């Protein structure tokens, strides 16, 4: 048995944050929550406090010269996590402003220790610690005073076995924060990233001593429930890389609901595969997706449709509307823009888990970018990669559509190299012949499976897409000018 | 905890009025600080001033101890019946302002918790 001390981990109660922290906050640690005004520091501190506090683990919240205590209480109680019944017995607020006015750190320390001894807290918060630091005398003497005060506070609180949080309006680069950053065991930095007209909140665990935390900036949102962090991680790898785990080489085939397409796919799309349906406007991509969901409903499967259309198109897609009304398909569509992939993925995964859906249609990736904050727009491929990886991990069979204009000079399969990410591709194209704009489709690839190499003509009728049973007699379709074989 | 005993020669009723303010200040002071208490008190004085014009002249102080002293002097300067009525209106207004800011439930909890803590400290002393 190891004689090393094991660090107790405290779950923060902030969804997603413990993943970044490497399992939670280290017990008795001395932490700094830093960020510009409005970044959510006080809310994060309160959410952690109300999640962790109990009659056995009491919390003392010192307010200093930042947000006036009455205003802080007025606003913080609006959040769902603010439990009025805990105030007084488990959570106590103390104002240090009067003690700080004298500018003497020893007086502040004496007051803190007096309150700590009276209330015996396991959690101590000081908001805002920057206002404490700013009362230090100028020059080297003041810096030394502050350093001593912080070190003394850290030592005393840890000895008291209190997990401590200093909250301050610090930016990472500020030298003023250095003494605190040096002493702190953990540092969580919050920021609002402003790009073009959008703002995306970011959280970063700068340091967390003694545990492997997740580096980098991660998206978070503040709602009526408080903070919600979206860790930027991929789902776990498949288990079949471990010795002895059965390898599924004969995946169940999922019928597509479009006559003729299953035959071209050698019996349907392998379960868990993602299929990119690419083609120009009017080619029938949405119809193909709707039929895929209808087929699932016929088989008793639930579906999810993630729509990035402008909102009214569903009214024209009666088949989809009926499935939604019947509760067989759940639709995800946002009226918000400046979304992050993390939020979209979270909603998609939550909907799949809640409804037990086995089929997903994302219509379409072309419009998805219109809903994303600038950082997502420039990383569409990465966005689609994370979405498809998440669906694959859940063994969801999915259709993703993408608008693609024919230019008839080269065979394009997708925008932003998305074609490399999906397991299968169906390409739809127009071709001119006999005074008509004809439609053709082909299965370009199906990973791990054979498939038809036909280029087949199809028409869109009242019942959906009708694919001709054999390959087209035309040649030159990919150039846009089909001609019958043998035609000079 | 506040240490002032009030002005000399005050009636028992008058001392009782001031004591209730001292208790309130002792309960709220650690929570909202001197400035928070004095700001709320000043606002309460302005709100009741149309009915008790002389209360509008109560000086705004920097510490809650000084603020209670000032109130002590103001109440002593009027007839006991008037002082009693003004004090009741002032206390109710003060409590109403606190309720409006942080809600009656939280205000009650904070004051009850502070009162309990004060009692504990007194018992320990």
| pLDDT (tens digit per residue) in A230-272 | 998 877 777 777 788 777 777 899 999 999 999 999 999 999 9
Mutant choice from A63, A69, A118, A120 vs B, greatest count of B C-beta within 10 A: A69
Is the pLDDT at B2 greater than 60, yes or no? Answer: no
Chain A contact for B60, CB < 8 A?
no
Inter-chain contact A118–B103, Cβ cutoff 8 Å? no
Select from B32, B63, B109 the Cβ nearest to the Cβ of A87.
B109
pLDDT value, residue A488: 45
pLDDT value, residue A64: 82
| Closest residue by Cα to residue A170 from A134, A195, A212 | A134
Could you state, in order of their start, the residue ranges of all structural domains in chain B?
Answer: 12-124
Do β-strands A464-467 and A474-475 pair in parallel, antiparallel, or remain unpaired? unpaired
Q: Give the C-alpha separation, A416 to A382, whole Å.
A: 10
With cut-offs at 50, 70 and 90, classify the pLDDT of residue A150: confident
CA distance A61 to chain B (A): 10
Is the pLDDT at A75 greater than 60, yes or no? Answer: yes
Q: How much is the ipTM here?
A: 0.79
DSSP helix/strand/coil, A179: helix
Inter-chain contact B33–A69, Cβ cutoff 8 Å? yes
With cut-offs at 50, 70 and 90, classify the pLDDT of residue B3: very low
- Class for the domain spanning A9-230: alpha beta
Q: Give the C-alpha separation, A201 to A194, whole Å.
A: 9
Q: Which residues in chain B are closer than 8 Å to A63, comparing Cβ atoms?
A: 33
pLDDT value, residue B65: 92
Q: What topology does CATH give the domain A253-484?
A: Rossmann fold (3.40.50)
Inter-chain contact B36–A92, Cβ cutoff 8 Å? no
**Which of A374-383, A428-437, B89-98 shows the lowest mean pLDDT across its residues?**
A374-383
Chain B contact for A89, CB < 8 A?
yes
Numbered ranges of CATH 3.40.50.300 in chain A = 9-230, 253-484
**Which of A191-205, A474-488, B20-34 shows the lowest mean pLDDT across its residues?**
A474-488
Q: CB within 8 A of A158, min separation 6: which ones?
A: A28, A29, A30, A164
Q: What is the pTM of this model?
A: 0.80
Is the pLDDT at A401 greater than 60, yes or no? Answer: yes
With cut-offs at 50, 70 and 90, classify the pLDDT of residue B4: very low
| pLDDT (tens digit per residue) in A300-349 | 999 999 988 766 555 568 889 899 999 999 999 877 777 888 888 889 99
DSSP string, A330-347: EEE--S--SB-HHHHHHH
Chain A contact for B100, CB < 8 A?
no
| Rounded-to-10 torsion of CA A114, A47, B103, B22 | 0
| pLDDT (tens digit per residue) in A123-142 | 999 987 777 776 666 666 66
Select from A68, A88, A118 the Cβ nearest to the Cβ of B36.
A68
Chain B contact for A98, CB < 8 A?
yes
Chain B contact for A87, CB < 8 A?
yes
Chain A contact for B106, CB < 8 A?
yes
């Amino acid at each position: 048995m190891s004689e090393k001390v094991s660090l107790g981990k405290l779950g923060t109660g902030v969804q997603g944050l413990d993943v970044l922290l490497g399992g939670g906050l280290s017990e008795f640690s001395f932490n700094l929550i830093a960020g510009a005004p409005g970044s959510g520091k006080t809310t994060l501190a309160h959410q952690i406090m109300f999640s962790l506090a109990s009659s056995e683990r009491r919390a003392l919240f010192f307010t200093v010269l930042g947000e006036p205590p009455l205003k802080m209480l007025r606003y913080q109680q609006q959040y769902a996590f603010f439990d009025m019944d805990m105030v007084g017995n488990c959570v106590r607020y103390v104002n240090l402003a009067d003690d700080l006015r004298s500018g003497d750190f020893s007086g502040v320390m004496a007051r803190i220790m007096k309150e700590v001894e009276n209330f015996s807290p396991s959690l101590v918060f000081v908001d805002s610690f920057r206002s404490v630091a700013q009362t230090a005398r100028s020059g080297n003497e003041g810096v030394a005073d502050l350093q001593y005060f912080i070190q003394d506070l850290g030592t005393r609180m840890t000895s008291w076995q209190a997990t401590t949080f200093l909250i301050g309006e610090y930016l990472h680069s500020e030298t003023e924060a250095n003494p605190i950053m040096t002493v702190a065991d953990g540092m969580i930095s919050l920021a609002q990233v402003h790009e073009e007209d959008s703002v995306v909140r970011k959280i970063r665990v700068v340091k967390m001593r003694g545990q492997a935390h997740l580096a980098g900036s991660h998206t978070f949102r503040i709602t009526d429930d408080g903070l919600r962090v979206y860790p930027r991680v991929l789902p776990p790898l498949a288990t079949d890389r471990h010795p002895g785990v059965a390898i599924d080489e004969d995946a169940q085939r999922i019928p597509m609901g479009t006559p003729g397409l299953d035959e071209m796919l050698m019996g349907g799309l392998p379960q868990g595969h993602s299929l990119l349906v690419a083609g120009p406007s009017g080619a029938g991509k949405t119809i193909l997706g709707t039929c895929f969901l209808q087929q699932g409903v016929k088989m008793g499967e639930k579906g999810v449709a993630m729509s990035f259309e402008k909102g009214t198109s569903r009214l024209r897609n009666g088949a989809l509307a009926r499935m939604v009304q019947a509760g067989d398909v759940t639709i995800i569509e946002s009226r918000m823009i400046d979304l992050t992939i993390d939020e979209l993925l979270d909603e998609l995964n939550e909907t799949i888990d809640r409804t037990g859906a086995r089929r997903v249609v994302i219509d379409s990736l072309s419009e998805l970018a219109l809903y994303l904050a600038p950082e997502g727009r420039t990383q569409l491929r990465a966005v689609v990669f994370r979405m498809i990886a998440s669906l694959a991990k859940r063994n969801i069979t999915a259709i993703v559509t993408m608008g693609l204009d024919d230019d008839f000079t080269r065979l394009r399969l997708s925008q932003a190299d998305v074609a490399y990410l999906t397991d299968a591709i169906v390409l739809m194209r127009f071709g001119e012949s006999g005074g008509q704009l004809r439609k053709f489709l082909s299965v370009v690839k199906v990973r791990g499976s054979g498939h038809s190499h036909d280029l087949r003509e199809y028409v869109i009728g009242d019942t959906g897409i009708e694919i001709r049973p054999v390959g087209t007699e035309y040649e030159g379709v990919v150039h846009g000018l089909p001609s019958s074989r043998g035609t000079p | 905890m506040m240490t002032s005993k009030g002005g000399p020669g005050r009636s028992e009723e008058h001392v009782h009025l001031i004591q209730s303010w001292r208790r309130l200040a002792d309960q709220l002071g650690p929570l909202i600080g001197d400035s928070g208490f004095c700001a709320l008190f000043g606002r309460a004085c302005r709100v009741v001033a149309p009915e008790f014009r002389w209360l509008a002249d109560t000086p705004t102080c920097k510490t809650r101890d000084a603020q209670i002293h000032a109130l002590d002097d103001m109440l002593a300067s009027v007839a006991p019946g008037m002082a009693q009525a003004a004090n009741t209106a002032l206390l109710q207004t003060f409590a109403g302002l606190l309720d409006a800011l942080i809600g009656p439930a939280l205000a009650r909890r904070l004051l009850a918790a502070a009162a309990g803590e004060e009692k504990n400290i007194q018992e320990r002393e």
